[in-house]
């Protein structure tokens, strides 16, 4: 990734057309003119693997992930780093910036990433005149809250083994792809346990023939049906 790639730039006419279609797919209730305005005013930027897109406590913008994958991490008051989510292509993030511009998490690229961004104020102004766009933003906020509730419930009521299996099943395309997007090193943060506890669960799953550890950080799925079985594994 060169310094030129990291520069913030405006989309070309061709990129605007592609971006407009992606915006309408991500925000299907928004008006075509709102999508066109967002595409024209977008700021494009690229990041390489492990580069920080924004930091916890910094001002953030509304972000559409055009290409690549990223991870959301939060550092707790006692210094523990917890992974709170995975960003997938075509998804919208940072929607809380329409009312609060301060990031509660940091966003880090997992591979080569391209994103489009807008200020929360600009999106809020468009949403004030477009009820469909406002509804999509409300839906996105509700999804974030629902995911957070499920994650907290998992921390409180599921043991480490069930949480590891649940995370591997939920993100199997990212853990077991070739090349993988997520590695064993990401598991403790996603599961919310120590590396030692996560390693112990992986050894159990390996002894049972569900997965195999490969190389320094990789995983290979041997028995997909055991992940599908969830907590019965």
What is the tens place of the pLDDT at every residue in 67-91?
999 999 988 777 777 888 899 999 9
231 pLDDT band (50/70/90 cuts)? very low
Condensed to tens digits (0 to 9), the pLDDT of residues 89-107 reads 999 998 888 887 788 889 9
Q: State the pTM of this model.
A: 0.82
Angstrom distances, CA of residue 194 to CA of 86, 92, 119, 125, 185: 19, 30, 37, 43, 11
- Output b/e per residue, 67-104; b: 16+ Cβ within 10 A: ebbbbbbbeeeeeeebbbbbbeeeebbbbbbbeeeebe
Residues in Cβ contact with 129 at an 8 Å cutoff, skipping those fewer than 6 apart: 34
Higher pLDDT, 203 or 152: 203
Mean pLDDT in residue range 131-157: 81
- Domains of the chain with bracketed CATH: 3-145 (2.60.120.10), 159-232 (1.10.10.10)
The per-residue pLDDT of the chain, averaged, comes to: 89
Condensed to tens digits (0 to 9), the pLDDT of residues 182-199 reads 999 999 988 888 889 999
């Amino acid at each position: 990734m060169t310094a030129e790639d990291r520069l913030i730039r405006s989309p070309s006419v061709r990129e605007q057309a592609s971006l407009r279609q992606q915006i309408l797919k991500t925000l299907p209730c928004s008006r075509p003119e709102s999508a066109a305005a967002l595409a024209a005013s977008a700021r494009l930027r690229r990041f390489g693997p492990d580069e920080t897109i924004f930091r916890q406590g910094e001002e953030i913008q509304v972000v559409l992930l055009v290409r690549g994958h990223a991870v959301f991490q939060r550092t707790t008051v006692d210094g523990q780093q917890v992974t709170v989510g995975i960003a997938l292509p075509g998804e919208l993030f940072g929607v809380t910036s329409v009312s609060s511009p301060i990031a509660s998490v940091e966003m880090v690229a997992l591979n080569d990433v391209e994103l489009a961004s807008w200020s929360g104020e600009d999106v809020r102004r468009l949403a004030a005149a477009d009820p469909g766009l406002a509804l999509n933003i409300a839906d996105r906020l509700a999804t974030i809250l629902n995911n957070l509730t499920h994650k907290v419930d998992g921390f409180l009521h599921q043991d480490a083994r069930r949480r590891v299996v649940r995370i591997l099943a939920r993100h199997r395309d990212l853990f077991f792809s070739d090349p993988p997007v997520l590695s064993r090193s990401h598991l403790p943060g996603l599961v919310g346990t120590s590396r030692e506890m996560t390693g112990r669960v992986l050894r159990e799953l390996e002894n049972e023939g569900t997965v195999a550890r490969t190389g320094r950080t990789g995983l290979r799925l041997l028995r997909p049906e055991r992940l599908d079985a969830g907590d019965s594994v």
